[in-house]
Amino acid sequence: MSELFLIAHKVRGEPAFDIAIKMTCPTCDATNDHCPQCDGAGNWWIIPTSGHRAFPWWTHPLDGLGRYSDIGFWPNPIVDDMPPDLRDHYTTEREAAKDLIKVLGLIHKPLASAPIKRRF
């Protein structure tokens, strides 16, 4: 089994801890430092219980937790503040709609300046 990590990531706008595994980015195969699909180090982080992808700002090997750990016992790990522009674990419906409109190239048509008069 893959090594497990304790991660801090953003879930619905709030910081959260979770357990994740690290896998090699299938897009760049860990060969591109500027790959938009991975963390710049060629890694994807997967939550094994759900299969969802996570975007952590802090990670620590789960085996490294305990009495002799450099971060201490749970629930007091030393974690930096969450970056404000960090990608969220879940995309809200509003964010998903904006992305879909952008991907499909759809734009709003301007409204007619005068109403159309109908004859009866």
Q: Domain count of the chain?
A: 1
71 burial level (CB within 10 Å; 0-12, 13-18, 19+): middle
Residue 115 falls inside a structural domain: no
pLDDT in tens, 35-65: 777 766 788 889 998 888 888 888 888 877 7
Residue 120 falls inside a structural domain: no
Residue 110 falls inside a structural domain: no
pLDDT at position 87: 77
pTM: 0.61
The whole domain housing 27 covers 4-104
Residue 117 falls inside a structural domain: no
pLDDT at position 111: 63
Position 72 pLDDT exceeds 70: no
Task: Please give the Cα distance from 48 to 30 (Å, whole number).
Answer: 21
pLDDT at position 85: 79
Residue 36 falls inside a structural domain: yes
Mean pLDDT of the chain: 75
Residue 114 falls inside a structural domain: no
